[in-house]
Amino acid sequence: MRRLWLLLAVPIVALDQWVKWWAAENLLPKLYVSSQLHFAQPFLPGVNLTYTSNTGAAFSLLGGGAARWFLVVVSALAAAAIILTVCKGWVTRPFGVISLSCVLGGALGNLIDRVWQGYVVDMFEFTFVKFAVFNVADIFISAGGACLVLFLLLDVRKKGPHAHLDENGR
């Protein structure tokens, strides 16, 4: 059953890719004079829809040519580690597996962009605070990661500090 939860990554990837396609089609003007790819439209109070192409990681860190393949390898290794973790049964509870599936879906969504385009399309920008422009994949990576930390903290507390010991204290 826990392996089936990994399939949650599929609609996450599909949603992420569709929103990125929509952003490219609707937020990026067909003809533009500026060489900077940064175009914004109001979306919700405090949030703009802003097309940006990010060659780096979060906050455009590690941007540039060689970083692309480094980030591809890191994303692929993270995805493989998540799949291995679930398939080996190292995380079996639904909340933990769902959290990992969210991170997996986000990682795969950004991985697809980096491999095929060389950059990740971002579109959500807060207007009330200076923060990175982000995408659907980033939301699932962040939310899934936060839920995973919560799961691990609660799971350790539930099992107790000596849960790994058998009845003989070993």
Please indicate whether residue 138 is annotated as part of the active site.
yes
Which member of 113, 138, 155, 166 is catalytic? Answer: 138
Instruction: Check whether 120 has a pLDDT greater than 80.
Output: yes
- Give Cα separations from 106 to 90, 93, 95, 142 (angstroms): 21, 20, 17, 9
pLDDT in tens, 18-71: 999 999 888 876 545 444 455 667 678 888 888 888 876 554 555 556 677 888
**Residue 118, CA distances (Å) to 54, 64, 135 in order:** 9, 9, 16
Active site residue 166: no
Range with lowest mean pLDDT among 2-11, 60-69, 85-94, 109-118: 60-69
Pairing of strands 38-44, 47-54: antiparallel
Distance CA 73, CA 45 (A): 37
Structure-model confidence comparison of residues 164 and 123, the more confident one: 123
Q: Please state the pTM of the whole predicted model.
A: 0.81
* Rounded-to-integer distance, Cα 94 and Cα 101, Å: 10
> For residue 66, which amino acid is it?
A
Of the candidates 16, 113, 122, 166, the residue annotated as catalytic is 122
Q: Where are the domains of the chain?
A: 2-27+41-127+137-158
